[in-house]
A and B are shown apart, each in its own frame.
Chain A
Amino acid sequence: MAETGLTAELFQHGPIPLDVNLACRPGELLGLVGPSGAGKSTVLRAVAGLYQPRRGTVSCNGQSWLDSGADLDLPPHRRPVGLVFQNYALFPHLSALGNVSAALSHLPRRERAAKAGEWLARVHLAGLEGRYPRQLSGGQQQRVAVARALARDPQVLLLDEPFSAVDQVTRRKLYRELAELRHSLAMPIVLVTHDLDEAALLADRLVVLYRGATLQSGAPDEVAQRPATALVARLMDQPNLFTGQVVEHDPAQRITRLLWLGRSLDARLQAHFRPGSRVSWMIPAHQVLLHRRDQLSRGERENPLSGRIAELLTLGSEALLSLEIDRRLKLHLSLRLPVHVVRRNNLAVGDEIGVSLLAQGIHLMPYEEPRRAREHSLEG
């Protein structure tokens, strides 16, 4: 367990079930993700002392804030945390400067205004010190909330869905500002979000929370592409989740062979799954390659598959395709392609196309009953 940084272990059966274990190093941005009601905010509130779990420990930089075994539970005002609330919770009767000054009671009174002004300048709000919260835009309110949270000189910064209440343009701007700001902060930062793209963009490490329990933690790519269980894959919104059977391992070629829909699939070697056992498996949408109609490419040797385009959605410069690969089982495969590739190949709904599933991208997980029709398959 880390000596420096934040560690929290929280446990209770109810009223909100919790089984949480997380650690965040100084300078690290930990993303707490999970569906609504997973207990993300509760974890944050427990770290801040605003929620009392039945059992648990919270400590930061060697200092214990909560230790239910030792009957220690510091009240929120004695825990050096900076917390940015989802709706910012600014003090409506105080100006921007007053809001930030309110967190500076550790300084002599005459130094507070100057220090608060410095913080507002750091979040690009110089000149707006005298404005009241109701006179500020959503993005400006969020910046005041960040300045107020940091002004206390906290040992940990907690962000509770801080981007959910602003429009998308402002959100992108605030992402950049947070990414910039955090490099100058040497404290653990915990960000709660239900937006997986946001988490992947900002966080160094993700913790996946479901019904109050931590399921997996790791780098965003690792959690997204190598989830520990089919449930994590589902929570990470992985569309290509299927079930199959392990046939054999081929260590020489670094390949594990799978049986899926009566065909053989080559996957990255994952020797800890016993041959003959049923498994869940997934492949990220970007590991599915389109075959070019005019010329063969390298990917065609790997797990070739054909299907009919059932859906084609364009999102900005990227297109999301849903390929029907088994009509009877209603099995679909998702892939992402740049829009120019879709245009160059004249792809349209109803077209029959060929794709390859890159063996490196195929990830096996312990077997879990398929939840949706399209995850279903017959293993032979």
Chain B
Amino acid sequence: MEWSALDLSVRLGLATALLLLPFGILAGRWLAYGRFAGKSLCEAAFALPLVLPPTVLGYYLLVHFGSAAPLGRWFENWFGHPLAFSFEGLLLASLIVNLPFAVQPMQRAFEAIPREVREAAACCGMAPARVLAHIELPLAWPGIVSGLVMTFAHTLGEFGVVLMVGGAIPGRTRTLSIAIYDRVQSFDAEAAAVMAQTLLAFSAIAIGLTYWLGNRVTRRHG
């Protein structure tokens, strides 16, 4: 087991999930309740990373991470090291790749709350912020947690984009799934097996939790 790779994967997964939490709630709620022109286009844009080949996404990210691009130049001026092949670059790539995994379950959870229930809350004298805190979030939390779990699990397993923008620098950008690939390439089946089992366990728990939460929601509203 490469502990530094596991540590990096877990740190990347947690950071991605936590940063996407407020964004997913706001974007999911906005897509669920908002009525505006171009809504389908927005939804499609959020879902794009699902179908985009990781190498294509990785390529474009690398282009923007380079010091020739405004983003890459800005980052290097501020932080003193390039965005490509750094943890920050990896995190940014991970945030983009995971957008649909965080936003979609949260959007569905907000959509599942009947309009009358939200209206009844307003008619009880609750201001919009109170409605969000006391009515919407308690009803939507299984979907929100499920979005977080999916994001975390998916980050642990991400391979293509991570390899493209991060390379495999031990301790910096070498995640667990890349380590598995490297070990298999060098015929170290034993080490690869241990790490594969770790990822299998994480994934199984994550997907199990997601379904369990999904059933809780059905029971509650049903």
Interface residues of chain A, those whose CB is within 8 Å of chain B, are 48-50, 75-77, 80-83, 85-87, 89-93, 102-103, 105-106, 148-149, 152
Contacts and interface: CB of A to CB of B under 8 A. Distances in A.
Contacts of A80: 125
Interface of A is mostly: loop
A93 B122 contact: no
A89 B125 contact: no
Contacts of B114: 89
21 contacts: A76-B119, A76-B122, A76-B123, A77-B122, A77-B126, A83-B120, A83-B123, A85-B119, A87-B116, A89-B119, A91-B117, A91-B135, A91-B139, A92-B221, A102-B124, A102-B134, A102-B135, A103-B124, A105-B130, A106-B125, A149-B123
Question: Which bracket fits the contact residues of B?
Answer: 20 to 34
A82 to B, nearest CB: 7
A89 B113 CA distance: 10
A83 B116 CA distance: 11
Contacts of B120: 83, 85, 89-91, 148
Contacts of A77: 122-128, 131
Given A50-B119, A85-B116, A102-B134, A93 B124 contact: no
B35 interface: no
A-B residue pairs, 7 tightest by C-beta: A89-B116, A103-B124, A76-B122, A89-B120, A83-B123, A77-B122, A85-B116
Nearest to B138: A93
Given A76-B122, A85-B119, A105-B124, 19 more contacts: A48-B119, A48-B123, A50-B119, A50-B122, A50-B123, A76-B123, A77-B127, A77-B131, A89-B114, A90-B120, A91-B120, A91-B139, A92-B117, A92-B220, A102-B121, A102-B124, A102-B126, A103-B124, A152-B125
A278 B142 CA distance: 68
B220 A93 contact: yes
A11 B114 CA distance: 28
A102 B135 CA distance: 9
Interface in B131-148: 131, 134-135, 138-139
Nearest to B122: A76
B53 to A, nearest CB: 41
Interface of B is mostly: helix
A59 to B, nearest CB: 18
A82 B125 CA distance: 9
A134 B128 CA distance: 25
B139 A82 contact: no
Contacts of A87: 116
A304 to B, nearest CB: 55
B165 to A, nearest CB: 42
Contacts of A91: 117, 120-121, 135, 139
Nearest to A158: B123
A91 B114 CA distance: 10
Nearest to B130: A105
Nearest to A48: B123
Contacts of B138: 93
Contacts of A83: 119-120, 123
A77 B125 CA distance: 4
Contacts of B116: 85-87, 89
Interface string B89-129: 00000000000000000000000001011011111111110
A93 B128 CA distance: 18
Contacts of A149: 123
A48 B114 CA distance: 18
B185 to A, nearest CB: 51
Contacts of B123: 48, 50, 76-77, 81-83, 149, 152
A81 B135 CA distance: 19
The interface centre, meaning the residue of B121, B122, B125, B131 with most chain A CB atoms within 10 A of its CB, is B125
A313 to B, nearest CB: 37
Contacts of B220: 92-93
A80 B123 CA distance: 8
A77 B120 CA distance: 9
Nearest to B118: A89
B124 A152 contact: yes
Nearest to A145: B120
B135 to A, nearest CB: 6
B122 to A, nearest CB: 4
Contacts of A106: 125
B217 to A, nearest CB: 10
A18 to B, nearest CB: 19
Nearest to A151: B124
Contacts of B126: 77, 102, 105
Contact of B139 (A49, A50, A93, A105): A93
A50 B122 CA distance: 9
